[in-house]
């Protein structure tokens, strides 16, 4: 790439990264995007996407990521199928390093590394992924309207998703591992008041049932040892996400949970010239459309920074 620093490097390739690339490329920033080890991010393990504007018939997650990649490349984004595993933000010109050790210098860096859902770690959960098992009720709950569902979790997100499902499904079975929830008091109260949400305390999932599609779940009371099988069509896991931000820990301010922090109404981080977009900084919405929106914001912020510093 020569010795001249790039104008923009984008780390990550989900909706946020590709949208940042589209905007940066159209602004003649000649972005180079590094896909990471999972090109396309979480949407690569998502089948039907029906809530992204512009796809009236819905679209498969991988197909949508392919569309975004093609659109970014159409405007001369250079897409590299490599993993960035180390960064150095100590100087005015930022450096990122590929897994093979190559050093890339850039005036601006857009972080779009996303977050990964936590799973229970049981075989049937992985086997029935996208066939009744999901980590996002807001994304997939619509497919189970009028059908019984189950959800695992005890935090605010689990309560929000249980309430969302309760408006679509006749019964929502909520499994809580302990005898209390971690959720805020107001969220707990809302869940407990909802008549079609059935809370099972001290309850752990042993197996998700079904051959091709989810037909039920077998759970165990961890106090009494009693097991029971419950018929459901959808099984949602809401035990949190892990932001893919570990390599930025020495440089970027982050929350205790690892989500990167940014200035209000901006994608700027505490390091000038480094911007963050998508689920690496968002533990509230976690939707493809919101990630894409912040990717646009990051590219615009990067362009303004380059103009203000006289680089362009």
**Residue numbers annotated as active site:** 136, 139-140
Q: State the pairing for strand pair 59-60/48-49.
A: antiparallel
Taking the CA atoms of residue 164, residue 168, residue 171 and residue 175 in that order, the dihedral angle to the nearest 10 degrees is -30
Task: Provide the strand spans (E) within 194-245.
Answer: 197-200, 203-209, 216-221, 227-231, 234-237, 241-243
Find out whether 143 and 48 touch, Cβ atoms under 8 Å: yes
134 forms beta bridges with 236
Structure tokens at 183: 């959720």
Going by DSSP bridges, is the β-strand pair 115-117/133-134 parallel, antiparallel, or unpaired?
A: unpaired
- The answer to whether the Cα torsion of 259, 261, 267, 270 is positive or negative is negative
């Amino acid at each position: 790439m020569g010795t001249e620093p790039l104008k923009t490097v984008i780390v990550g390739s989900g909706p946020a990264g590709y949208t940042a690339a589209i905007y940066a490329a159209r602004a003649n920033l000649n972005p180079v995007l590094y896909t990471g080890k999972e090109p396309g991010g979480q949407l690569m393990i998502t089948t039907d996407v029906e809530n992204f504007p512009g796809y009236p018939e819905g679209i498969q997650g991988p197909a949508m990521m392919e569309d975004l990649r093609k659109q970014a490349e159409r405007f001369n984004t250079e897409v590299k199928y490599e993993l960035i595993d180390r960064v150095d933000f100590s100087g005015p010109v930022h450096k990122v390093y590929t897994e093979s050790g190559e050093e890339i210098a850039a005036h601006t860096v857009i972080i779009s590394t996303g977050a990964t859902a936590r799973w229970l770690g049981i075989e049937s959960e992985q086997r029935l992924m996208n066939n009744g098992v999901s980590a996002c009720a807001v994304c997939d709950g619509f497919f189970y309207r009028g059908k019984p569902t189950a959800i695992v979790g005890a935090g605010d997100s689990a309560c929000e998703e249980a309430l969302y499902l309760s408006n679509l499904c006749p019964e929502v079975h909520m499994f809580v591992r302990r005898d209390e929830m971690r959720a805020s008091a107001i969220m707990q109260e809302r869940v407990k008041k909802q008549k079609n949400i059935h809370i099972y305390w001290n309850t752990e999932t042993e197996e998700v049932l079904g051959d091709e599609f989810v037909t039920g779940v077998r759970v165990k009371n961890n106090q009494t040892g009693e097991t029971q099988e419950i018929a459901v069509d959808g099984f949602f896991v809401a035990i949190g996400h892990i932001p893919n931000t570990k390599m930025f820990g020495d440089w970027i301010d982050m929350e205790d949970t690892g989500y990167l922090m940014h200035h209000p109404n901006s994608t700027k981080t505490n390091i000038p010239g480094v911007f963050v977009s998508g689920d690496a900084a968002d533990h509230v919405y976690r939707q493809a459309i919101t990630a894409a929106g912040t990717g646009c914001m990051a590219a615009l912020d990067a362009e303004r920074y380059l103009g203000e510093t006289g680089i362009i």
